[in-house]
Amino acid sequence: MRKLFVLGAAAMMTLPSVLSADTAPRDVAFADDGSVAESLTGVAGDPTAGLENATSRGIGNCVACHVAEGWKDAAFPGNVGPALTGIANVYDESQLRGILVNSKKTFEGTVMPSFYNLDDIIRPGDAYTGKAATSPDVTILTAQQIEDLIALLLTFDEPLPE
């Protein structure tokens, strides 16, 4: 009986954001310039987790489109988007949060994915069925993964490349 209780508690802790205080994707408040002032989680981001995420092909995959001094050892970075070296000198925390949550609010029509948005992303399945994919309410990244990436980008405060 006691063991069952412990297992139950462990299972609950691994449940996704439903039980946490994360701001839901459709409740994020954007300013007119596309920035998002308030943390999505209220928990400070972890730049180490952010780096892991940014350079992992399976998760954030920022490296597919951006080079950055902060991940200069990453294999085959792409250059579809601008270099992120020195990006902390260009945007503040709330602007970076806006770009990551929904890039389209800052850069109209951009190919950069909207990482914490349910309505502005192309879902796998569309091309296959030719119909709108039934949308499971899942964002590309979690609220905490967004905060971790912001924390990482804020460390990219080296001088801007010429």
The DSSP secondary-structure symbol of 101 reads H
- Residue selected from 115, 117, 142, 147 as contacting ligand HEC according to rule CB under 6 A: 115
Q: Exposed, middle or buried, 97 (CB in 10 Å: 0-12/13-18/19+)?
A: buried
Q: Among residues 89 and 135, whose Cβ is nearest to ligand HEC?
A: 89
99 lies in the site for ligand HEC, by CB under 6 A = yes
Q: Among residues 74 and 87, whose Cβ is nearest to ligand HEC?
A: 87
Write the interaction track for ligand HEC spanning residues 45-84; mark x where CB under 6 A is met and - where it is not. Answer: ---------x-----xxx-xxx-------------xxx-x
93: nearest Cα among 25, 154, 29: 154
Q: Among residues 23 and 54, whose Cβ is nearest to ligand HEC?
A: 54
For residue 57, the one-letter residue type is: R
C-alpha to C-alpha distances, 120 to 79, 108, 112, nearest whole angstrom = 23, 12, 11
Secondary structure (3-state) at 152: helix
Interface residues toward ligand HEC, by CB under 6 A? 54, 60-62, 64-66, 80-82, 84, 87, 90, 96, 99-100, 107, 110-113, 115, 149, 153
